[in-house]
Amino acid sequence: MVNPDRTTAQPRGNPDDQPTELNLDKPDTGRMYDYYLGGKDNFAIDRAAAEAIIQVNPDTRVLARQNRAFVARAAEYCTRHLGQRQFLDIGTGLPTHPNVYETVLGIDPDARLIGVDNNPIVRAHDTALLPAGEIHIREGDLRELDPLFALLAPLVHWDEPVTLILGAVMHFIPGDAGTIVAAFRDRMATGSCLVLSHATSPDNGPQVVADAQRVYDRSSAPFVPRGRSEIAALFDGFVLEPPDLVDVGDWRNDEEQPTPDGVRILGGVGVLGPSTS
């Protein structure tokens, strides 16, 4: 039987949401990422900053494409092989192809997807452009956990497994990233998944990071790469699926990938074991 909810365009944003004004005073990390991916949802101020980053770290576009493809492959893996049917994608970004929504709904049209981003342009575009299905897009900020969990309360079924996706977002959040991930983990049911990718410092010296940080310091968020062990610690309580935490281009990818020179992004998928507390 055809589900009428999936054959008509659905309002994806909360009808009570007040529109937030776009900030065009500063380059925006989400719009810069869109530019790296070859999207059109960016402004001159974003393109100038993105070009400055590419100057500093020439493989940035390759890295962005590898990251986006990793998130889609990981979402596919969680749907097909780990039986996940509920997804919470925070820092979801613009719906440049390939995206989590089209990937998951292409496999399981009944899956439930909740996307959150602190960038109002993401909500506006995702609401208009995403495929039909049970998709809820909201504006929210990972640094403000109380309002974020209040926003998610009517949307996320915490008593059922949920795949939390944190794709290339935690490296825009300074401070104790572990506490943020743990706040989600403590609400998640056994068998839930964590898909996370995160920039890490390159082997060839800190200069590229310092130069990139100077550019991002003038943008909507600072750039905070973390070491491999710090990123691995974000999976505390989760058991990493093979191949563990690796360069995003290499995660369950049959196609040979170049290892980017400069900044790298590591990614992994973990499954939450039973709580020990």
Ligand X SMILES: C[S@@+](CC[C@H](N)C(=O)[O-])C[C@H]1O[C@@H](n2cnc3c(N)ncnc32)[C@H](O)[C@@H]1O
Evaluate whether 157 touches 37 at the Cβ level (below 8 Å): no
Q: How far is the CB of 64 from ligand X (least distance, A)?
A: 7
Q: How far is the CB of 118 from ligand X (least distance, A)?
A: 4
Q: How far is the CB of 141 from ligand X (least distance, A)?
A: 4
Distance between start and end Cα atoms, the chain: 44
Q: Which is nearer to ligand X, 168 or 181 (CB)?
A: 168
The two three-digit tokens of residue 74, written as one number: 């990981």
Q: Which is nearer to ligand X, 6 or 135 (CB)?
A: 135
Cα–Cα dist 16/128, whole Å:
17
Find, among 31, 79, 80, the residue nearest to 53 by Cα. 31
Amino acid at 135: I
> Would you call the peptide bond into 27 cis, given omega within 30 degrees of 0 as the criterion?
no
> Angle, nearest 10°, between helix axes 177-185 and 145-152?
30
Cα–Cα dist 163/26, whole Å:
32
Evaluate whether 225 touches 201 at the Cβ level (below 8 Å): yes
The two three-digit tokens of residue 182, written as one number: 């743990």
Q: How far is the CB of 80 from ligand X (least distance, A)?
A: 19
Q: Which is nearer to ligand X, 188 or 265 (CB)?
A: 265
Q: How far is the CB of 91 from ligand X (least distance, A)?
A: 3
Q: Which is nearer to ligand X, 5 or 144 (CB)?
A: 144
Q: How far is the CB of 15 from ligand X (least distance, A)?
A: 21
Q: What is the DSSP annotation of 132-154?
A: SSEEEEEE--TT-HHHHHHHHTT
Q: Which is nearer to ligand X, 6 or 145 (CB)?
A: 145
Q: How far is the CB of 63 from ligand X (least distance, A)?
A: 10
Could you list the residues that contact ligand X (CB under 6 A)? Answer: 29-30, 33, 67-68, 71, 90-93, 117-119, 122, 141-143, 167-169, 172-173, 221
Evaluate whether 269 touches 74 at the Cβ level (below 8 Å): yes
Q: Which is nearer to ligand X, 126 or 241 (CB)?
A: 126
Q: Which is nearer to ligand X, 33 or 235 (CB)?
A: 33
